Structure 1
């Protein structure tokens, strides 16, 4: 029994299914906390509705384009995450959804940058930032799709590093948007980073049967996304 328990609780152990030659983690085989996926399931329709309202309210075409890109990224992230985490899947389908779930994080980060850069930065700064951030996103997507078994600390660190690329443009953001918008951007980044650390360390894990470390991570992503959405809305509607 002790050996079985120890084996099951190993972190991020990879099991190869000979029948499908696909990989899944032992974590996916364990019972999910009861709240797994519910926070992203609730966030998905909210983001869609709020994003569509913001597109309609936006006074300029460039703002609508930026918000639309953000909306696609946010919808992919929260909807795919909800489907993956709420469902019970075969090893093959679970592995596919897990790849999408992780790859979508890169799209969402780049999508969040897009309206802020388009609306707050001059053409030169916006071009440099968006070229850089979408290039990182493309690399990250290829990285996750090609190496799903990468160490958790490695791809989590890439998420965090990508998220903080904006530090190099904080002064132009401040000059164009003011302290409130910059504060929301930074606060969202700090919350995302804290959630990513929880995900990487799998701690704290307050109530594994109901609300585990992964739920802490999901709540952090929701709160951080709301901060950044508020910043985008303030920029668009000011």
Structure 2
């Protein structure tokens, strides 16, 4: 899902040492480029290539694979929810949830598994961060429709979707915002339905209530891991970001089960 806050890697030409060029400057640039501006530009290109290779070497080998594996499961699970829904409103709400889940896991997998140019990195990172707000609102949509009265649905969905849209705009327009600022925004929006927990229990039962709370706690734990960058068990294979992704999958599973119980 969210990528680390380091600047995205940038692409450059492969560096090749030559007799008249430093090892990190392309040979063709050293031979053909005039002195001055062109020479400085070609040197920068070689440096960019070095930075990109270093960033790729530091990325844990499991980065993105967890969400890549969950994406098809989320797609199938969404179809199941739609199939078991008993009303047009439930079908629409579960469709929103399924779409937000597929966007979350699909975008995260593409972003974290691939190596993109500066523009591609910037676009995918914005989408990756924005999708967290969308999955929060997308999760509450079927819960509200299935478990709350019409008036309560209107209040909760207005609040959560307004917050999601504001949060999405915030992450798209200010992708370089510090973690300490935007991570609490995810947590706050995720717990906006806390006042409706008694209604969830009354309509859906104790199992639904426990699953909703468990999912919220798991998402919160993931946000804390992401914010602190700890624990970081194996930076080469399974780092703190993979722990964060694993917790988001566990939280999604809990909420999916709650929605499935409510829908059936």
What TM-score, normalized by structure 1, do the two folds share? 0.88
Q: Gaps (5+ residues) in structure 1?
A: 1-10, 20-24
Q: For each residue in 1:167-226, what CA deviation from the matched residue of structure 2 results, as whole angstroms up to 9, or x when unmatched?
A: 111111111111110100000000000010000010110000000000000000000000
Question: 2:134 matched to 1:107?
Answer: yes
d(CA) in 2 for partners of 1:189, 1:73: 17
Which of 134, 143, 154 in structure 2 is aligned with 1:127? 154
Say whether 1:146 aligns with 2:179.
no
* Mapping for residues 80-91 of structure 1, pairs under 5 Å: 80-91=107-118
Give 1:7's aligned residue: none
Residue 232 of structure 2 corresponds to residue 205 of structure 1: yes
Gaps of 5+ in 2: 11-40, 45-50
Distance 1:213 1:15 in 2: 18
| Whole-Å separation in 2 of the counterparts to 1:149 and 1:180 | 40
Instruction: State the alpha-carbon separation in 2 of the partners of residues 214 and 84 from structure 1.
Output: 13
Instruction: Tell me if the contact between 2:63 and 2:242 (Cα under 8 Å) persists in the aligned partners.
Output: yes
Partners of 2:249 and 2:9 in 1: how far apart? Answer: 33
Which runs of at least 4 in structure 1 moved beyond 2 Å after TM superposition? 11-19, 28-31
Q: Determine which of 36, 50, 59 is the counterpart of 1:32.
A: 59
Residue 98 of structure 2 corresponds to residue 71 of structure 1: yes
Q: Larger Cα Rg: Structure 1 or Structure 2?
A: 2
Equivalent residue number for residue 200 of structure 2? 173
C-alpha distance in 1, partners of 2:110/2:6? 23
> In the TM superposition, what is the alpha-carbon distance from 1:103 to its structure 2 partner?
0.3
Would the aligned equivalents of 2:111 and 2:128 in 1 still touch at CA under 8 Å?
yes
Count residues in correspondence: 221
Measured in 1, the distance between the counterparts of 2:226 and 2:74 equals 23
TM-score by length of 2: 0.80
Q: Kindly provide the CA deviation profile for residues 29-79 of structure 1, in whole angstroms up to 9, marking residues without a partner as x.
A: 352101110110011110101110221122211111110000110000000
Other-structure match for 2:247: 220
What's the secondary structure of 1:97's corresponding residue? helix
